[in-house]
Amino acid sequence: MLHHVLLEVSDLDRSGRFYDSMLAPLGWRRHFDEDETIGWGIAKPVFFVAAHHEPKPGFGLLSFSGLGIVAVKAAWENGMRSGGVNVSEPGERRSHGSGSYSAFIKDPDGYEIEITIGTD
């Protein structure tokens, strides 16, 4: 079971704005903001960004689940407006690990993010 994820970022305020905007349509909110660390989740923080070390994007992919097509589109659009870089616009997907409808974006530090309809 996954307990939490933490990404190191170069600009905590910029990343905070990006993830506030992108995660809101998925029902996530900011739960934690102290000691150069911000955390989001639905009931508790499980995804964190911090400015303690140099960021090292390129590790793989982080995927957030949405409750439907509207949420996936809204999260991708908000992410794009908040400094994200398009990798793949929202649409149907049939790849390993992805839901049936996904979008891909890079955050301001270059981490690749998938927003998908959960298949569980």
Residue 99: pLDDT band with limits 50, 70, 90: low
pLDDT of 103 higher than 80: yes
Taking the whole predicted model, whether its pTM rises above 0.75 is answered as yes
What whole-number distance in Å separates Cα of residue 30 and Cα of residue 109? 19
Give me the residue spans of the domains in the chain: 5-117
CATH of domain 5-117: 3.10.180.10
The answer to whether the beta carbons of residues 51 and 12 sit under 8 Å apart is yes
- 37 beta partners: 34, 50
pLDDT at 58: 78
pLDDT of 119 higher than 80: no
pLDDT of 70 higher than 80: yes
Mark residue 88 as left, alpha or beta (left: phi above 0; alpha: psi -120 to 50; beta: remaining): beta
Lowest mean pLDDT among 17-21, 31-35, 113-117: 113-117
